Amino acid sequence: MTFPLFDLHCDTAFEMEKRGEGLTENNLAVSLTHAKKISPYVQVMAFWTPQTLSDEAGWQAFLRVYHHFMDDPAVKAQRVRIGSYSASDGRPTLLFSIEDGRILAGDLSRLNALHALGVRIFTPFWAGENILGGAHDTDKGLSPFGRESLQKALALGMIPDLSHASVASAREILSLAEAAERPVIASHSNAYDLCPASRNLHREELQRIISCGGLIGLNLHKPFLSADGDATLSDLLRQIDYFLEHGAEKNLALGGDLDGSTPIPEIQTVGDYQKLWERLLHEGFPTSIVNDLFFGNASRFAESYFR
Ligand SMILES: [Zn+2]
């Protein structure tokens, strides 16, 4: 059997460059081989850079990772579609996001460069305080440069990503997006009510994401699913129940954080999402809800915003 998947976040591109691996077959969680049973398949590839690098060195590292990715034989042979979304022609589609906006290093024109390279999702933060403001583990909001960057990203048509933002930063990002009448996503975050990790979403954020027509991608990382860090597929189902009960039926998606996290034992590779698909149907979730979670919600969003 095949199943559809639109996943909003993985760190595979960074790992590919670090280990000298390719996209077709590798020792990572995301590869075209692991995705053989997935159709249609859309994967957002996040470009993350380690904070051990300076902001400027981070920009250079991003360019290295990006070009390693674009030089991949599968990409060059156009066995995948890159950078924009339209109804599937059978090939996997790979979209781009930036994780940790500090690589702008104070230069707003880099947003134009990112947009020209196909980046459509902008995640301002990762951890701590950066040039844009405060991440989830701080109580800081946006800096003046952070505000300018978000306004420019919105004007360029990029979608702000609340994952990794502090409560204060998330509020400001939502307000900027609401003023611009644009949606916001949280590409790889779960519900704080069920698992109080600072990376998870508070109810106000959830309600405002729903109001603006955004997306929430469920994260497979064990510490974001269970307070003792020992999560399983059942904890992911609790999250799905919670979001559905709170009105996110048309906003809920998947954002597994594969190749950047410690995922639940049942889903170690992108192909293992099949176990979630089968479990939801087995538990009696309506097919339309399962389809929307796996693909429908994110693909409708992509048709409007990632073309
Ligand atoms: Zn992340």
Q: For 228-269, what is each residue's pLDDT tens digit?
A: 989 999 999 999 999 999 999 999 999 999 999 999 999 999
Q: CA nearest 243: which of 263, 265, 219, 264?
A: 219
Q: How far is the CA of 44 from the centre of ligand 1 (A)?
A: 12
- Which pLDDT score is estimated for 307? 84
Measured in Å, residue 282 CA sits from the centre of ligand 1 at: 30
How close is the Cα of 187 to the center of ligand 1, in Å? Answer: 8
Q: How far is the CA of 17 from the centre of ligand 1 (A)?
A: 17
The residue among 218, 221, 281 whose CA lies nearest residue 251 is 218
Query: How far is the centre of ligand 1, averaged over its atoms, from the C-alpha of 225 (Å)?
Result: 14
Tell how far the Cα of 213 is from the centroid of ligand 1, in angstroms. 22
Q: What percent of the chain has pLDDT over 70?
A: 100
Q: pLDDT-derived band of residue 1, with 50, 70 and 90 as boundaries?
A: confident
**pTM across the whole model:** 0.98
Provide the pLDDT for residue 89.
82
Residue matched to tokens 């020792």: 27
Q: What is the mean pLDDT of residues 125-153?
A: 98
> Could you tell me the distance, in angstroms and rounded to a whole number, from the CA of residue 115 to the centre of ligand 1?
20
Cα 267 to ligand 1 centre (Å): 17
256/133 Cα distance (integer angstroms): 25
Task: Determine the Cα–Cα distance for residues 277 and 285; give it in Å rounded to an integer.
Answer: 10
- Ligand 1 mean position, distance from CA 286 (Å): 30
Averaged pLDDT, 204-226: 98
Q: Cα(188) to centroid of ligand 1, in Å?
A: 7
CA of 3 to the centre of ligand 1 (A): 25
Tell me 104's DSSP state: G
Mean pLDDT of 120-139: 98
Q: Ligand 1 centroid to 178 CA: how many Å?
A: 24
Half-sphere exposure of 38 (CA within 13 A, CB side): 27
| Summary mean pLDDT of the chain | 97
* Ligand 1 center to 108 CA (angstroms): 22
Residue 43 C-alpha to ligand 1 middle, in angstroms? 15
How many angstroms is it from 23 CA to the middle of ligand 1? 20
pLDDT at 278 over 90: yes
Question: Residue 193: pLDDT above 80?
Answer: yes
Rounded to the nearest angstrom, the distance between the alpha carbon of 206 and the centre of ligand 1 is: 18
% of the chain at pLDDT higher than 90: 96
CA-closest candidate to residue 132, choices 122, 145, 123, 114: 145
How many Å lie between the centroid of ligand 1 and the Cα of residue 163?
A: 7
Let me know if domain 3-305 sits in CATH 3.20.20.140.
Answer: yes
Q: What is the pLDDT of residues 60-93, one digit of tens each?
A: 999 999 999 999 999 999 999 998 888 778 899 9
Give mean pLDDT, residues 104-124.
Answer: 98
Cα–chain center distance at 226: 20
Tokens 């890159």 identify what position? 82
Residue 1's CB is within 10 A of a number of other CB atoms, namely: 6
- CB within 8 A of 59, min separation 6: which ones? 103, 104, 105, 110
Residue identified by tokens 């020992």 is 230
Task: Identify the pLDDT of residue 84.
Answer: 85
Q: By three-state DSSP, how is residue 238 classified?
A: helix
Q: Separation of 106 CA from ligand 1 center, angstroms?
A: 22
Residue 201: which of 215, 182, 186 has the closest Cα?
186
The kind and range of the H/E element at 175 are helix 167-179
Task: Kindly tell me if the per-residue pLDDT of 47 is higher than 80.
Answer: yes
Ligand 1 geometric centre to CA of 109 (Å)? 24
Calculate how far, in angstroms, residue 98's C-alpha sits from the geometric centre of ligand 1: 10
Residue partners of 150: CB distance under 8 A and separation at least 6: 122, 124, 132, 142, 160, 172, 173, 176, 177
Task: Tell me the CA–centroid distance for residue 134 and ligand 1, in Å.
Answer: 15
